[in-house]
Amino acid sequence: MDRISIDAITFYAHHGVLPEERELGQVFQVNLELGCDFSSITADHINQAVDYRLAVEVVKEIICGSPCRLLETLAARIADQLLLLPGVTEVKVEVRKPNPPLPEVKGGVGVVTKRRR
């Protein structure tokens, strides 16, 4: 299986369990792996490949859309929509909060989900 990776797609949004997270917002980062098949590409043209610009748009619509309480919900919504893109047969989605409201956590928190068509 061939893969396209897109790292550190970053948006400011209003998700979280705590009221202040939903009111004030924070930075969210998304890392993607898109499973596809490069062997069907016979010409050097975007029409034959997975257009990863569309994947970034999917992430933007979901992260900047309706607030969720859980990172797990965001990751699942993104994964489900990415599987609808032409040529994408499996996805790995990581959603991260680089600065969660936990003073003890210095490296961020995140969730990972994988889906397959």
H/E stretch holding 36:
strand 26-36
Told to judge if 60 belongs to the known catalytic residues of this protein, a careful annotator would answer no
CA of residue 16 relative to chain centroid, distance: 16
From the candidates 60, 97, 106, 114, give the one annotated as an active-site residue.
97
Who contacts 107 (Cβ-Cβ below 8 Å, separation ≥6)? Answer: none
Which of the residues are catalytic?
97
